[in-house]
Chain A
Amino acid sequence: EVQLQESGPGLVKPSQSLSLTCSVTGYSITSNYWGWIRKFPGNKMEWMGYISYSGSTSYNPSLKSRISITRDTSKNQFFLQLNSVTTEDTATYYCARYYMGINYWGQGVMVTVSS
Chain B
Amino acid sequence: DIQMTQSPSLLSASVGDRVTINCKASQNINKYLNWYQQKLGEAPKLLIYNTNNLQTGIPSRFSGSGSGTDYTLTISSLQPEDFGTYFCFQHNSWPGTFGSGTKLEIK
Contact = CB atoms under 8 A, between A and B. Distances in A.
B58 to A, nearest CB: 12
B78 interface: no
Interface string B69-107: 000000000000000010101010011111011000000
Interface in A73-104: 94, 98, 100-104
Contacts of A101: 32, 34, 46, 49-50, 89, 91, 96
A24 to B, nearest CB: 13
Contacts of A58: 94
Given A47-B96, A94-B43, A103 B101 contact: no
Given A60-B95, A101-B91, A106 B43 contact: yes
A34 interface: no
Given A45-B87, A100-B50, A105 B100 contact: no
Which interface class (under 10, 10 to 19, 20 to 34, 35 or more) fits A? 20 to 34
Contacts of A4: 43
Nearest to A98: B91
Interface of B: 32, 34, 36, 41-46, 49-50, 53, 55, 85, 87, 89, 91, 94-98, 100-101
Given A44-B100, A45-B87, A46-B98, 14 more contacts: A4-B43, A43-B100, A43-B101, A44-B98, A47-B96, A47-B97, A94-B44, A98-B91, A101-B50, A101-B89, A102-B44, A102-B89, A103-B55, A105-B43
Ranked 10 nearest A-B pairs via Cβ: A45-B98, A101-B34, A101-B91, A105-B43, A47-B95, A60-B95, A100-B49, A105-B44, A107-B43, A47-B96
